[in-house]
């Protein structure tokens, strides 16, 4: 049984076991938000009682993004290419590979989701991959000063394919259109198959052929990181195929260059890691794999003290987005919509019911993936449409 399918069969929650310079950014954040609280005062203290932590998040996001942009030019730089034995295969439970200061720019590389084992269309996951080595992660990175209740802002400066080829697969029992341990169906499995895509960086496309060689197609390159996450709370250890409140295997195309990902810190240092490069992917990732490849990664990691981020948030100049992870699918959507309604309330001062109405008529909610142990839904909204406070 394929490792992903085995994992789903073993645990409905995806739990695989339990593991027996921020003040500067904060000062910029407070100043930009018009706050006067001194460093060391919880930013979200007043907002939390009324509307939850979204109020502080709404106030600090623009400043954090601006600070990260400044840090990219002036902060410390870590250039790091991990050796294979330095890759991580869980979120949590891994010794940090590097300790970094807030504002550090990390220029690095990530392996593909198959751990680099599949190179041709003749290679099959069931034959060449090592069980438990799905979605290898670069990291984790220990951010000095990060404590539970803080937030890491990861501004993505650049993502580029690191190889001139990429891989996609079909694995029996994995994917939304076939029977598996959760959706029992009569009938034979489809045949395990691998597609190799050749990457034309100059034209910005990946192209492949049908298995009989009679057809070919191209897909525009749109690189993003399928996995980005911090250590879960309580010393928990989670597989790299699982998305949840800590981030993880969200498979979200918005984890791309130009956007900032916000993740709540659960353990000292945050323990940030990322990987699972996707050169392109359709909504839903319905076959169970994107166009998967190694990635060159350039990010800036900044610490926001005293601001909680309960679920992953993504932001750019135009949009704010929340990622909900759960099963069934509607619960994943509810997680993200609830966070968005809270954010709109904090930003505008509207009542909960008015914010509910506003989000209902203005949000977009693409289904990100329908194949992992928990599904993911992205809810996004154009910030310019939110009424002023």
Classify the C-alpha dihedral 385-48-267-35 as positive or negative. positive
Q: Is the pLDDT of residue 16 over 70?
A: no
With a pLDDT cut of 90, the percent of the chain lying above it is: 77
Q: Are 280 and 291 in contact (CB under 8 A)?
A: yes
- Mean pLDDT estimate for the chain: 86
Q: Are 187 and 224 in contact (CB under 8 A)?
A: no
What is the average per-residue pLDDT within 292-309? 98
State the Cα–Cα distance between residues 130 and 272, nearest whole angstrom.
Answer: 24
The per-residue pLDDT for 259 is: 98
With a pLDDT cut of 70, the percent of the chain lying above it is: 81
Instruction: Record the pTM.
Output: 0.84
Q: Is the pLDDT of residue 137 over 70?
A: yes
pLDDT digits (tens, 9 = 90+) for 17-74: 333 333 333 343 333 333 333 333 333 333 343 345 555 555 555 555 555 556 656 7
What is the average per-residue pLDDT within 299-317? 98
The per-residue pLDDT for 69 is: 57
Q: Which domains does the chain have, with CATH numbers?
A: 3-385 (2.60.120.580)
* Three-state SS sequence of 221-257: CCCEEEEEECCCHHHEEEECCCEECCEECCCCCCCCC
Of 177-181, 271-275, 307-311, 329-333, give the lowest mean pLDDT range.
177-181
State the Cα–Cα distance between residues 253 and 259, nearest whole angstrom.
Answer: 10
The per-residue pLDDT for 173 is: 87
Instruction: Please compute, for residue 25, the number of CA atoms within 13 A of its CA located in the half-sphere on the CB side.
Output: 34
The per-residue pLDDT for 8 is: 37
The per-residue pLDDT for 157 is: 98
Report phi then psi at 358, rounded to 5.
-60, -50
Q: Are 278 and 292 in contact (CB under 8 A)?
A: yes
Higher-pLDDT residue of 365 and 12 is: 365
Chain-centroid distance of CA 156 in Å reads 11
Which DSSP symbol is given to 341?
Answer: H
Which DSSP symbol is given to 289?
Answer: -
């Amino acid at each position: 049984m394929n490792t992903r399918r085995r994992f789903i069969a073993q645990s409905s929650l995806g739990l695989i076991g339990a593991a027996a310079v921020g003040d500067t950014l904060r000062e910029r954040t407070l100043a930009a938000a018009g706050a006067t609280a001194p460093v060391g005062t919880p930013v979200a203290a007043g907002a939390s009682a009324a509307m939850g932590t979204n109020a502080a998040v709404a106030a600090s996001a623009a400043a954090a993004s601006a600070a990260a942009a400044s840090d990219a030019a002036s902060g410390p730089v870590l250039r790091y290419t991990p050796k294979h034995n330095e890759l991580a295969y869980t979120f949590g439970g891994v010794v940090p590979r590097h300790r970094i200061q807030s504002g550090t720019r990390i220029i690095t590389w990530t392996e593909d989701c198959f751990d680099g084992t599949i190179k041709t269309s003749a290679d099959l996951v069931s034959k060449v991959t090592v069980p438990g080595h799905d979605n290898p992660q670069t990291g984790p990175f220990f951010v000095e000063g990060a404590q539970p209740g803080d937030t890491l802002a990861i501004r993505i400066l650049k993502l580029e394919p690191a190889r001139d080829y990429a891989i996609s697969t079909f694995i029996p029992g994995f994917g939304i259109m076939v029977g598996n341990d959760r959706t029992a169906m009569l009938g034979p499995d489809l045949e395990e198959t691998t597609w190799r895509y050749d990457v034309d960086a100059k034209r910005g496309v990946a192209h492949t052929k049908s298995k009989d060689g009679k057809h070919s197609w191209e897909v525009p390159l749109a690189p993003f990181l399928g996995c980005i996450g911090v250590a879960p709370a309580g010393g928990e250890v989670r597989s790299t195929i699982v998305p949840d409140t800590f981030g993880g295997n969200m498979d979200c195309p918005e984890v791309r260059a130009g956007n900032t990902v916000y993740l709540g810190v659960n353990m000292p240092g945050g323990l940030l890691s990322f990987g699972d490069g996707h050169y392109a992917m359709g909504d839903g990732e319905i076959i169970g794999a994107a166009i998967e490849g190694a990635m060159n990664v350039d990010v800036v990691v900044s610490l926001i003290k005293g601001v909680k981020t309960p679920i992953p948030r993504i932001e750019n100049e135009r949009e704010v987005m929340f990622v909900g992870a759960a099963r069934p699918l509607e619960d994943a959507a509810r997680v993200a919509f609830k966070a968005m309604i809270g954010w709109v309330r904090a930003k505008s001062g509207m009542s909960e019911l008015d914010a509910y109405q506003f989000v209902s008529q203005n949000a977009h909610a693409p289904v990100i993936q329908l194949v992992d142990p928990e599904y993911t839904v992205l809810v996004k909204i154009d910030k310019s449409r939110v009424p002023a406070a």
